[in-house]
Chain A
């Protein structure tokens, strides 16, 4: 493995002719060849197409083309298999779409191409991004590169495992309740959930439209900042993407964080938090204090309602979003004597258990007679949670919490207990309900077994710059060696 796999370092070498995009890609392909069969991080690999992209980049470098505006030049990137990539499969890890080939590029996919990235393959996920372990994937579970008996987290588990194992140097994930940050934490990489509206959702197979957001997973904070710069910005194809001017997320990195106010929500440091995680977070807090940050306690009083609120809203939206998978126009179909029978058979056999559970729940909470008690009530509580955050953000610039209450769990450990599974998202879900940005960065290891621990920072909506600035300062101060024992 290359010593320094940061975009910055690799690209310097490429631009100077010391390294080719093809050899960077070949390094990734070699690691994929060696370990993907055991990790199952990538569920589709088009090596020929990827190499073709790399060849074109090398030719452009040799021709001396102007490559100034190519912040991802030659960087191999994997895309979560629920984000559209022209002429490539988009299965969403579901039997329902097991043969679906996307007829178009997502806005983010196009942005990656234009930025010079090499699209290397499709990353595994929980079926339709519903899960926290990739165990609901139709393609089978992905494994954690730090311990193959453990899950990589989810739903962007394939993306996190692929980045951690350096199958690619960056990956796109989607985060609806922690699906980028939680697997990043479990796999020891950086996972950024941008503010809602920062990144276009056009081309992301919707799970819960008001919560979904695409974001990068990388090994380093600077690389995440660079990827965000590429995918962020208003998209006329997504009415919910904001018209905020595009920002430079990279140049602010390295700025002093003296005087930055960081709040610790008291509701996040309670019983149930793994003592090793607690210890690692405490050390991280000290580190940030040493860097000049001002740490203060804050309160988010409605935290205990976040999970319930989340599961009402996300399932309601999902029940409508997944209605289009009916066997009529594309995807899996089982014939029936009339449309109803065709629907029942197709959806009955095409969706997995967790997806069906959520569709049923979502259908229930929107039903006439229950709407007010569930969906409407949940929206009201969502407002209360948002107000909690607004009040807290009046006092502090950022919040600091563990990303997950514990380290990666074993395969099958929580698969039969949905509630236990849902609780792994307890610290990440609020950011989706509120719409603010959040990042998980490595902050050490548990001892036995040795597994990565993640630290979550949350920023005000559209203050990714500040979020990345603090994450970067912490990363520079700690320099955790995040190389999994493959």
Chain B
């Protein structure tokens, strides 16, 4: 029998806010342990949580970017469990009334478009970080109370590769929306996987296994690459899969059982009485929508359609958003978009690697690039000359036409002048001239180069070839 995997992901993402979820402590990675803490995030007696509105905004914005519904009544619940890294021994989370529900993420995988539905993206708080030393353990509460978004997918994912592609697409969206920096190394994204297998075409779900402790997207892929065959082999041996939580061991490259359903937590959720329900106005949602950005997939599609750019160019502009934005500024002045894209990608980007150069500090106006391309397209200057004009405008900020006029770089398209240069070249290089006469086509390029040299690059190359040909093979 053929089997298929059914995979759902729970992705935790730290939100990019200045302060924590319930207090004014800094939300910043890398400080000395327990230096970004206060009575509130340490769970001292008597303290109360005050919601961080920016975190609620970023959550709502995520909802828009993931095409979710945004309910008008949002509420936090207490999720009760004892663990040393949970200061209050309950975590505040949105169980019953989350900020966003029912969305989806679209992405491409091996040339095919895929959609994973989003069950919900809800807001909660991060917990502290445990450290284990030789004889004792410690908890750093700097991370405790950092706003954390949990994005729960429907079980629409069917392979390890698809899980990987989904996570990358999700990350692109969150980084695009300035919702999270999604820095995996700083623990800003964490992922739990739910996976089961079932006979292909079956509508019922198999026993669900939850896998925890993956700290990279590739870890998720590898965990699934291990776990799916494990389940299939168990079934082929006639065993049944038990519902359980398994831990991914990144070093051993395998999953191992943590706990079964029998010892599952009873979290005793109930609405947090310290917080009033959040019922934002239309106006609040409007101001959140002002933060909406174009999603990577949409941007790529638009660049390919609107500017007729090849896929490669469009991809450069979605991975480097400021460069893409700059290209759009240039293209808004008219001209040939493909040629402009070439200039932006090949010439401009090369200059931007210098530390002192940025798109904001360019000396020339975006329109100058259009002008430069026009000079080439109309035959006023050669592409080669254009390179040096670009270098000049880059350093001096002068307009390309002005540089061309000043330095006398206008391309020579006057047949009389070109004929003179050709005659000189033929006279000085009788060997190659004879070769061409005898039918060696390659010799023409050498002669052309000589003519360009004589004209100091200003001769119209196409015209030079034509004149030489006429003279040698009349």
Chain A interface residues (CB < 8 Å from chain B): 82-84, 90, 92, 97, 100, 102-104, 106, 201-206, 208-210, 236-240, 316-317, 319-320, 323-326, 328-330, 339-340, 343, 363, 366-368, 371, 375
Contacts and interface: CB of A to CB of B under 8 A. Distances in A.
Given A339-B82, A368-B266, A329 B46 contact: no
Contact of A90 (B46, B80, B83, B268): B46
Contacts of B293: none
B50 A237 contact: yes
A323 B48 contact: no
Contact of B49 (A239, A316, A325, A375): A239
Given A84-B45, A104-B39, A201-B48, A239 B82 contact: no
Interface residues of B, number: 30
Contacts of A319: 80, 268
B43 A329 contact: yes
A339 B51 CA distance: 30
A209 B273 contact: yes
B45 A205 contact: yes
Interface of A is mostly: loop
B50 A206 contact: no
Nearest to A211: B273
Contact of B84 (A205, A316, A339): A339
Given A104-B39, A205-B46, A323-B89, A363 B268 contact: yes
B34 to A, nearest CB: 10
B274 A240 contact: yes
Determine which residue in B42, B83, B139, B270 has the highest number of CB atoms from chain A within 10 A of its CB, and name it: B270
A210 B273 CA distance: 5
B46 A84 contact: yes
Interface string B83-96: 11001111000000
A239 B276 contact: yes
Contacts of A210: 273
A375 B78 CA distance: 14
B78 A328 contact: no
A326 B42 CA distance: 12
Contacts of A204: 46
Contact of B42 (A92, A201, A316, A329): A329
Determine which residue in A100, A104, A325 has the highest number of CB atoms from chain B within 10 A of its CB, and name it: A104
Given A103-B44, A330-B44, 7 more contacts: A103-B39, A202-B47, A205-B46, A238-B48, A316-B270, A320-B88, A323-B88
A311 to B, nearest CB: 15
A202 B270 contact: no
A204 B45 CA distance: 8
Determine which residue in B44, B80, B87 has the highest number of CB atoms from chain A within 10 A of its CB, and name it: B44
Contact of A324 (B83, B88, B268): B88
A289 B45 CA distance: 46
Contact of B80 (A102, A206, A320, A340): A320
Contact of B274 (A92, A97, A209, A339): A209
B275 interface: yes
Contact of B273 (A100, A317, A326, A367): A317
A329 B45 contact: no
A205 B84 CA distance: 20
Interface of B: 39, 42-51, 78, 80, 82-84, 87-90, 139, 266, 268-270, 272-276
The 5 closest A-B pairs by CB, nearest first: A323-B89, A209-B273, A366-B268, A210-B273, A205-B45
A8 B110 CA distance: 83
A232 B139 CA distance: 37
Nearest to B264: A368
Contacts of B88: 320, 323-324
A210 to B, nearest CB: 4
B78 A203 contact: no
A90 B45 contact: yes
Contacts of A100: 45
A367 B265 CA distance: 10
A97 B276 contact: no
27 contacts: A82-B45, A90-B46, A92-B45, A103-B39, A106-B46, A202-B46, A202-B47, A206-B46, A209-B272, A209-B274, A210-B273, A237-B48, A237-B50, A239-B51, A240-B275, A319-B80, A320-B89, A324-B43, A325-B45, A326-B82, A328-B84, A339-B82, A366-B268, A366-B270, A367-B268, A368-B266, A371-B270
Contacts of A323: 80, 82, 88-90
A39 B272 CA distance: 38
A98 to B, nearest CB: 13
B278 to A, nearest CB: 10
A336 B123 CA distance: 34
A84 B45 CA distance: 8
A238 B274 CA distance: 8
A240 B45 contact: no
A90 B42 CA distance: 16
Contacts of A375: 270
Given A84-B45, A239-B275, A375-B270, A320 B78 contact: yes
B382 to A, nearest CB: 68
Contacts of A90: 45-46
B23 to A, nearest CB: 9
Contacts of B82: 323, 326, 339-340, 343
Contacts of B42: 329-330
A339 B43 CA distance: 17
B86 to A, nearest CB: 9
B266 A83 contact: no
A200 to B, nearest CB: 8
Nearest to B22: A239
B89 A324 contact: yes
Given A202-B47, A206-B46, A239 B274 contact: yes
A79 to B, nearest CB: 12
A104 B37 CA distance: 13
Contacts of A106: 46
Determine which residue in A205, A323, A375 has the highest number of CB atoms from chain B within 10 A of its CB, and name it: A323
A8 B274 CA distance: 36
A239 B50 contact: yes
Contacts of B39: 103-104
A332 B84 CA distance: 15
Contacts of B51: 239
Contacts of A238: 48, 50
A11 B161 CA distance: 78
A238 B39 CA distance: 14
Contacts of A236: 50
Given A366-B270, A367-B266, A240 B46 contact: no
B48 A366 contact: no
Contacts of A208: 273
Nearest to B137: A339
A347 B80 CA distance: 16
Determine which residue in B48, B51, B83 has the highest number of CB atoms from chain A within 10 A of its CB, and name it: B48
A172 B145 CA distance: 31
Contacts of B90: 320, 323
A324 B45 contact: yes
Contacts of A240: 48, 273-276
